[in-house]
Chain A
Amino acid sequence: MNLRRLWAIVIKELRQLRRDRVTLAMIAGIPVMQLILFGYAINLNLRHLPTAIVDEAQTTASRQLAMDMLATDIIRPVAQATTAEGVMALIHRGEISVGIVIPRDFERRLARGEPVAQVLVDGSDTVVQSAASQLAQLPVTTPATERDRASVPLPRAPISVVSFYNPQRVSAINIVPGLIGIILTMTMVMFTSVAIVRERERGNMELLIATPVSRSELMLGKVLPYGIIGLVQTTLILLLGMWLFGVPVRGSAMDVYWAALLLILANLSLGLLISTRAQSQFQAMQMTFFVFLPSILLSGFMFPFEGMPLPAKWIAEILPLTHFLRLIRGIMLRGADLMELWPEVLALLAFIALMMTLAINRFSKRLD
């Protein structure tokens, strides 16, 4: 390993990058665009569902129940109705997603422990349904066991969910740390997966391998500049996440960067390995997507890891993003430190070492 040669390759990559406007635009554009898209658009906890409330009882207790429901912010009254039939018609026409009917005999039902109110839900969207089911768990004034029956068309939920780290259930808080991982996975693998193929396509490779440059110098020289870019992207997402969504960093910022660096190196070395195998830049992009899609779907970013079948879990354990998500959520949301999460750190380090070794060994300074 000759440092001057390594440095020459790093400088060369940075100079080429500076003149590559598309890639430059992607470095900043992808994080900003994805953060805004995912942060604002993907919201698994619905709020402000259009609602109509019919209070036929008009007592203090019934008004109290209606106010409690409104206070959850899950529903937002948009339409007027005076009867249960009127509410059903509104749902049918799609004007509201939730209808709440408090019957005339509310006080008597309450006293007898019968269902006191009905929450009518447009069940065609399961997410809406589950959001409305939260309403059904509101305490009235009777014991919790009785409350469940108040939500006649809704599933029984004997255990109430208590959310410690995201009490307002704001999706952005959960999504932004994960988004660092998604964006780094997408851009880092993409940048390096074309790195070697591009030089082969442009004919530069024949020149390079005829020089004394070593395989590890070439590989490291290609990884390092993008590592710096990855950290810049991490900073960008963190700052935007804090500014736009108030995402907290409860652990140390240094740990966040170490975790990001591990993921960056894991993805870059994976990209390099792809690059040594791919025959063309197009093929490299195809292979990148082959890795990217399972990363998004299986890592726990989209769906909870716990709910996946065993084979999917095995695949997920191979993906660096899975381990990164556990790290970053731990650090940013629970305030854990890196050492407490050592199994994930170890998994990422092992992945980097394996990919880098494979990439260096796959790359031959021969044309045949």
Chain B
Amino acid sequence: MASEEAAVIARGLTKVFGDLVAVNAVDLRIEKRQVYGFLGPNGSGKSTTIRMLCGLLTPTGGNIDVLGMEIPRQAEALRRRIGYMTQHFSLFGDLTVRENLEFLAAVQGLAAAPARRRVAELLEEFHFTGMERQLAATLSGGQKQRLALAGSIVHGPELLFLDEPTSAVDPESRRDFWEKLFELADAGTTLLVSSHYMDEAERCHRLAILDHGALVADGTPAELTGSLEGRTFAVEAWQPRRAKATVLGVPGVISAAQIGNSLRILCDSGDGIEERLSRALDKAGLQARLSAARPTLEDVFVAVTIHQAPGETAETP
């Protein structure tokens, strides 16, 4: 079942905690040297899936093959070849930047001399020169994430799991952080990144969207947005709140979100929706301008997660 190109293959991956089905029959295939995104709201099973793939949680059902190894049976051997960056900062706050990296290098099995070289290299590469003696607990959010990333690649893993690495980081740090991720991907590392930021999802080579433990969409960002072609519209109106109420009353409209003075509308695949919309807006006497809009990943996200509540219309934030 091992494959030359795939870093991760999972079939029917399931995890049940008591009555809760946290991950429900998820099939995954992650090609090597890719940045693979895991998108989903909180509690959708992203972390649980990642933990099962690293061998930290035992799946209730399904098969996992990571780097040609059967998980969880060969989890111990896999640990030398993967890096894992946890969702919450998990380095030692009462150790300095350098001490944290030194510790991880030794624990990952690097010999003394290579470890010294590697730590020096990482300190330089991750801009920690001059702050090596600072306690990790006193670092800013962005610096902590940088240190955690440096720590997770001390041993040069082939596959790196990152669980919401940027959830507590300012936008600029996020951009820098992603630069680093792409450098790693260019150098041949496969990355699995979970996130709930749409702009981050758009950067991934390929995406999986999880909702309530189920895989609801899977593909490249272009494929995913392409599937919504013709289903997204923008409405510009003087009274956007009234326009929104009107639009939501039109059959076939899945969601309408207000962005400033305009509305973003997502519809199901029904035909003739554009006419129905403009008729409804005219009838309501709203001076509104309707136009087709290019679908975004956010639209995809709304479209695939909305099915969980059939018959209801939802608002996107």
Contact A8 B106 (CB under 8 A): yes
With the chains together, A236 CA to B26 CA distance in Å? 60
- Listed stretches B86-94, B173-181, B184-192, B248-256; interface member: B86-94
Contact A12 B109 (CB under 8 A): no
Contact A366 B58 (CB under 8 A): yes
Separation in Å of the A162 CB from the closest CB of chain B?
Answer: 56
With the chains together, A12 CA to B92 CA distance in Å? 9
Chain A residues whose CB sits within 8 angstroms of the CB of B104 once the complex forms: 211
Identity of the chain B residue whose Cβ is nearest the Cβ of A214 in the assembled complex: B76
Chain A residues whose CB sits within 8 angstroms of the CB of B80 once the complex forms: 212
Partner of A206 from B56, B82, B108 at Cβ < 8 Å: B56
Which A167-216 residues have a C-beta within 8 angstroms of B? 202-213
- Interface code B91-131, partner A: CB below 8 Å = 1, 0 otherwise? 11111000100111011110110000000000000000000
With the chains together, A97 CA to B84 CA distance in Å? 73
Given A210-B56, A211-B79, CB of A15 within 8 Å of CB of B108: no
- Interface code A1-36, partner B: CB below 8 Å = 1, 0 otherwise? 010110111011001100110000000000000000
Contact B108 A211 (CB under 8 A): yes
> Would you call the interface of chain B mostly helix, strand, loop, or mixed?
loop
Given A2-B109, A8-B103, A212-B107, CB of A202 within 8 Å of CB of B58: no
Identity of the chain A residue whose Cβ is nearest the Cβ of B102 in the assembled complex: A8
Partner of A210 from B54, B88, B93 at Cβ < 8 Å: B54
Contact A368 B86 (CB under 8 A): no
Is B292 among interface residues, defined by CB-CB distance under 8 A?
no
Contact A16 B95 (CB under 8 A): yes
Is A310 among interface residues, defined by CB-CB distance under 8 A?
no
Given A16-B92, A16-B95, A206-B86, CB of A5 within 8 Å of CB of B109: yes
Separation in Å of the A194 CB from the closest CB of chain B?
Answer: 14
Contact A15 B58 (CB under 8 A): no
> Would you call the interface of chain A mostly helix, strand, loop, or mixed?
helix
With the chains together, A12 CA to B164 CA distance in Å? 27
Partner of B109 from A204, A212, A367 at Cβ < 8 Å: A212
Is B51 among interface residues, defined by CB-CB distance under 8 A?
yes
With the chains together, A7 CA to B57 CA distance in Å? 28
Chain B residues whose CB sits within 8 angstroms of the CB of A16 once the complex forms: 92, 94-95
Of A8, A205, A210, A368, chain B has the most CB atoms within 10 Å of the CB of A210
Contact B107 A5 (CB under 8 A): yes
Separation in Å of the B15 CB from the closest CB of chain A?
Answer: 9
With the chains together, A127 CA to B86 CA distance in Å? 62
Given A2-B109, A15-B99, A212-B108, CB of A207 within 8 Å of CB of B94: no
Contact B90 A213 (CB under 8 A): no
Chain B residues whose CB sits within 8 angstroms of the CB of A209 once the complex forms: 56
Contact A203 B106 (CB under 8 A): no
With the chains together, A16 CA to B102 CA distance in Å? 14
Chain A residues whose CB sits within 8 angstroms of the CB of B56 once the complex forms: 206, 209-210, 365-367
- Interface code B53-90, partner A: CB below 8 Å = 1, 0 otherwise? 01111100000000000001001100110101010111
Chain B residues whose CB sits within 8 angstroms of the CB of A4 once the complex forms: 106, 109, 111-112
With the chains together, A8 CA to B89 CA distance in Å? 20
Partner of B86 from A7, A20, A207, A213 at Cβ < 8 Å: A207
We find that the number of chain A residues with CB closer than 8 angstroms to chain B is 28
Chain B residues whose CB sits within 8 angstroms of the CB of A20 once the complex forms: 94
Contact A368 B103 (CB under 8 A): no
Contact A206 B90 (CB under 8 A): yes
Which B182-236 residues have a C-beta within 8 angstroms of A? none
With the chains together, A327 CA to B51 CA distance in Å? 49
Of B89, B99, B107, B112, chain A has the most CB atoms within 10 Å of the CB of B107
Chain B residues whose CB sits within 8 angstroms of the CB of A7 once the complex forms: 106
Contact B107 A8 (CB under 8 A): yes
With the chains together, A203 CA to B79 CA distance in Å? 18
Chain A residues whose CB sits within 8 angstroms of the CB of B58 once the complex forms: 366, 368
Separation in Å of the B106 CB from the closest CB of chain A?
Answer: 3
Separation in Å of the A3 CB from the closest CB of chain B?
Answer: 10
Identity of the chain A residue whose Cβ is nearest the Cβ of B110 in the assembled complex: A4
Contact A367 B57 (CB under 8 A): yes
Chain A residues whose CB sits within 8 angstroms of the CB of B103 once the complex forms: 8, 11-12
Partner of A212 from B72, B79, B90 at Cβ < 8 Å: B79
With the chains together, A82 CA to B79 CA distance in Å? 90
Contact B57 A368 (CB under 8 A): yes
Separation in Å of the A21 CB from the closest CB of chain B?
Answer: 11
With the chains together, A207 CA to B79 CA distance in Å? 11
With the chains together, A15 CA to B98 CA distance in Å? 12
Contact B92 A366 (CB under 8 A): no
Contact B51 A213 (CB under 8 A): no
Chain A residues whose CB sits within 8 angstroms of the CB of B107 once the complex forms: 5, 8-9, 208, 211-213
Chain B residues whose CB sits within 8 angstroms of the CB of A213 once the complex forms: 107
With the chains together, A11 CA to B99 CA distance in Å? 10
Separation in Å of the B26 CB from the closest CB of chain A?
Answer: 17
Contact B95 A207 (CB under 8 A): no
Partner of B106 from A5, A205, A365 at Cβ < 8 Å: A5
Identity of the chain A residue whose Cβ is nearest the Cβ of B135 in the assembled complex: A19
With the chains together, A231 CA to B120 CA distance in Å? 36
Separation in Å of the A69 CB from the closest CB of chain B?
Answer: 62
With the chains together, A329 CA to B56 CA distance in Å? 48
Q: Chain A residues in contact with chain B, CB under 8 A? A: 2, 4-5, 7-9, 11-12, 15-16, 19-20, 202-213, 365-368
Q: 9 shortest A-B CB distances, which residue pairs?
A: A8-B106, A207-B90, A210-B84, A203-B90, A212-B79, A203-B88, A367-B56, A19-B94, A211-B107
Extra contacts besides A2-B109, A366-B72 (7): CB < 8 Å: A8-B102, A12-B92, A12-B103, A203-B88, A205-B90, A212-B109, A368-B57
A-B contact pairs, 19 of them (CB 8 A): A8-B106, A11-B103, A12-B99, A15-B95, A203-B86, A203-B90, A204-B92, A207-B84, A207-B151, A210-B54, A210-B56, A210-B84, A211-B107, A212-B79, A212-B107, A366-B56, A366-B57, A367-B56, A368-B58
